[in-house]
Chains A and B, each alone.
Chain A
């Protein structure tokens, strides 16, 4: 009995290793948490279509993804914010950025007596987060909302306590909205917030805003849509007050596509265009320009082509915005840079 069991295990073991050697490509990737749902879906669908390619993605955060890529422990990385020149300089090899989906950030608030959508000018949001605008009935907020009676209540500011791509997009927008913010605070996944309480994750911010009367916070558009959280309108570069939706986000990318740099490392907040939602951003895959293993290189290039074509079809069902056509065309050409 024991001997036959041993033989059975040996055969299973051999079969497993044999299977592994027969042309399966295993790719390891790590990085951003924001696009994790769509990436899981893509890698799963791609694997069903190409059973010999297995992509394993760990959502450890953009910072972790960049570090693992620089250390060479993953085949490619993912990040919500583009790598800085300094980080690219630290890499031993050239790294290419490929935008995959678009995300947006919306302001959510809890003000007594207000049930409709509030309009926020860029100066209002910057002032609130800098701590210079402290009451809800401040003229900067009131003038954008004629006919709405705002209470004379204190504004309680809520931000993210954990480092996150959402904060990156929000602070990037505020840096463009206010020179004061840019010089005093700057933009990044974690900043030195002048005022406010920190909540952990979108859930933390939503929880604090729901519980604290007179509060304002920011959350990802997808989170707001899937959890039916009310959010306000933001004024874009063209002066229009827009409520965020997937079309507005894609329009922002399209607006920025004309002046997009070749390496796609661009911020699309405050993009030009009447329908462009101002607080939008890409999220990127970070691919090494030189991949020595031919099977891995071909698998990655093929995946990128698939992602730009069929992959984009899955975005809307998970509430991610699609990449606009001009950007897709540019990226298709850039795939040939991976060698």
Chain B
């Protein structure tokens, strides 16, 4: 660092000197940007809150469990959409997490480094594909597959199992919760793989070597030592994937059937919050109608907030249990 003026030996630096050093400016600038993000988020919530006041005043808490969505008679309820959003997100995670984690473990631990790098590059490209393309993939590939192949197989096998069988019964038209979950799973798997792989690669070699040195097999070393070490990062990737699944609009609306009803069967058609807002917002004419749609947006924001909060709690709780020493 060059200074024209001489520094005081020891002792506190003057304001001008701190300014010239750049510390103050860096401090102020970075603080402003961080505050800006919070400010934008609060403005978003504020706008959602204010613009949904008509609907909140009219329906109150009943909005959360009313099952009708009727723009003509002006009865609005969020229940079918909350149900659809939760079901598609959870089922897509059930499909994507084992797949993604297994792939990440393979790429980080077992594959030769160049293969791992090139496949990881391709997977990162997958994460960048626009969701409409996944929607088209859904319509032309997944929907017929579920209607003609996957659906009948599941109905005949899992459909007869006592407890979970009820989710695999009923008419199967190809579009529905299961198809939407499959398409979502395809979309979120790249996030899980790419972040988990990065995190697994940062696990220190000493950990692996120590485990192998103590007589563990390759698999035991990976599963019992390496993966738990990277647990926080992996869970972070899962919650990132969940966040994407909750908000996904276009791909879901093309394959879910867009029917605001709560039904048990995974083959039934349903609706999600993001899909209904995308479908009905531009043509919504009445003030109450618009307000109800905005309130749905507020509900989605709340759901994301709560789920992320739970994620934080889960991470903190398991951090105490093991993994990287804090």
A interface residue numbers (CB < 8 A to B)? 60-64, 66-67, 87, 154, 156, 161-164, 185-193, 196-200, 204, 207-208, 211-212
Q: How far is the CA of A99 from the CA of B147 in the complex (A)?
A: 44
Do residues B144 and A211 form an inter-chain contact, with CB atoms below 8 A? yes
Contact for B254 among A60, A66, A189, A204, CB less than 8 A? A204
Do residues B68 and A192 form an inter-chain contact, with CB atoms below 8 A? yes
A193 contacts across to B, CB distance below 8 A? 259
Do residues A197 and B283 form an inter-chain contact, with CB atoms below 8 A? no
Chain B proximity of A56: nearest CB distance (Å): 18
Do residues B283 and A200 form an inter-chain contact, with CB atoms below 8 A? no
B167 contacts across to A, CB distance below 8 A? none
Contact A163:B279 (CB < 8 A) given known A197-B257, A208-B175, A211-B174: yes
Chain A proximity of B115: nearest CB distance (Å): 38
Q: Chain A residue with minimal CB distance to B258?
A: A198
**What would 19 more interface pairs be, CB under 8 Å, given A185-B72, A190-B71, A191-B70?**
A61-B283, A63-B283, A66-B285, A156-B173, A161-B258, A163-B279, A164-B283, A186-B72, A187-B72, A189-B285, A190-B283, A191-B72, A192-B68, A193-B259, A196-B259, A197-B173, A198-B258, A198-B279, A212-B147
B interface residue numbers (CB < 8 A to A)? 68-73, 139, 143-144, 147, 171, 173-175, 253-254, 257-260, 269, 271, 275, 278-280, 282-285
Chain A proximity of B230: nearest CB distance (Å): 40
Chain B proximity of A307: nearest CB distance (Å): 24
Do residues A200 and B284 form an inter-chain contact, with CB atoms below 8 A? no
Between-chain CB contacts (< 8 Å), 22 pairs:
A62-B283, A63-B285, A66-B285, A154-B171, A161-B258, A162-B283, A163-B71, A163-B280, A187-B72, A188-B71, A189-B71, A190-B280, A191-B71, A192-B73, A197-B258, A197-B269, A198-B259, A198-B269, A199-B258, A207-B139, A211-B143, A211-B174
Contact for B73 among A87, A186, A199, A211, CB less than 8 A? A186
Chain A proximity of B267: nearest CB distance (Å): 12
Chain A proximity of B193: nearest CB distance (Å): 30
Give the total number of A-B pairs whose CB atoms are below 8 A apart: 85
Contact for A162 among B69, B139, B147, B280, CB less than 8 A? B280
Main secondary structure of the interface of A (DSSP, over half): loop
Q: What are the 5 closest A-B residue pairs judged by CB atoms, nearest first? A: A163-B283, A198-B258, A161-B258, A186-B72, A61-B282
Q: How far is the CA of A14 from the CA of B284 in the complex (A)?
A: 43
Do residues A200 and B254 form an inter-chain contact, with CB atoms below 8 A? yes
Do residues B259 and A197 form an inter-chain contact, with CB atoms below 8 A? yes
Do residues A161 and B285 form an inter-chain contact, with CB atoms below 8 A? no
B73 contacts across to A, CB distance below 8 A? 186, 192
A187 contacts across to B, CB distance below 8 A? 72
Q: Which of B257, B282, B284 has the most CB of A within 10 A?
A: B282
A156 contacts across to B, CB distance below 8 A? 173
Q: How far is the CA of A200 from the CA of B71 in the complex (A)?
A: 17
Q: How far is the CA of A164 from the CA of B279 in the complex (A)?
A: 10
Q: Chain B residue with minimal CB distance to A159?
A: B258
B275 contacts across to A, CB distance below 8 A? 161
Do residues A212 and B71 form an inter-chain contact, with CB atoms below 8 A? no
B259 contacts across to A, CB distance below 8 A? 193, 196-198
Q: How far is the CA of A185 from the CA of B139 in the complex (A)?
A: 29
A188 contacts across to B, CB distance below 8 A? 71-72
Q: How far is the CA of A187 from the CA of B282 in the complex (A)?
A: 18
Contact A64:B282 (CB < 8 A) given known A187-B72, A196-B259: yes
Do residues B284 and A212 form an inter-chain contact, with CB atoms below 8 A? no
Q: How far is the CA of A87 from the CA of B175 in the complex (A)?
A: 37
